Copies of this chain bind each other. A is one copy, B any other.
Amino acid sequence: MRADAQRNRDRIVEVARGVFKEKGYDAPLDEIARLAGVGPGTLYRHFPARENLIDAVQQELADRVNSMADKAIAHEGGPRERLLAWFEQYVELLTAHPGAAARVTTAMGDEASPIASKCKIYAGANTRVLAELRAEGAMRDGVDDLQVVRLVGGVAAIADQSRLGPEAIGPMLEVLADGVLKG
């Protein structure tokens, strides 16, 4: 890639990250192009679909999810405390960008999605936490990792769109934890 093209691409992603964080993933693309100092055609050349730009912006979140999983696994307390710590971290991550939770969770398990690579990273972190608990015999039989990450993502999406706080999110995650773990 030519140096000026690389520079333009980097600036677009940097600006998009700021705009998306503030206005959500549905923010107008022409404003991003304008703030990045490029024409709209240049943005479309690098990112033919909005989802491709979202994928690039989400690198920031994907970089953090595995250390979050590590922290949850190392959390003090029993399986329930560790699972809840993971759920809370994951919801916090997905609600860091307005609109991210619904898009990520909708694309979860869809290989053809432009953000499939990021979904794989999130799902992988979730699976690491669940595998740990499963090895301890703490998980109910027949609970599928993909369904769990969809359920937690669903809570994140509702929390995002309804602007719910921890006092509403916490009880929902507790229901999920009790449904995932043995009685």
Contacts and interface: CB of A to CB of B under 8 A. Distances in A.
Interface in A121-177: 140, 142-144, 147-148, 150-151, 153-155, 157-158, 161-162, 168, 171-172, 174-177
- What range describes how many residues of A lie at the interface? 20 to 34
Given A150-B168, A175-B179, 17 more contacts: A102-B157, A105-B162, A106-B162, A107-B162, A140-B178, A142-B171, A142-B174, A143-B171, A144-B171, A147-B168, A148-B175, A150-B158, A151-B151, A151-B175, A175-B176, A177-B179, A179-B179
Interface of A: prevailing SS: helix
Interface in A25-49: none
Contacts of A14: none
26 contacts: A102-B161, A105-B158, A105-B162, A107-B162, A109-B162, A110-B162, A142-B171, A142-B174, A143-B175, A147-B172, A147-B175, A148-B175, A150-B162, A150-B172, A151-B151, A151-B172, A154-B155, A154-B157, A157-B157, A157-B158, A175-B179, A175-B180, A176-B179, A177-B179, A178-B178, A178-B179
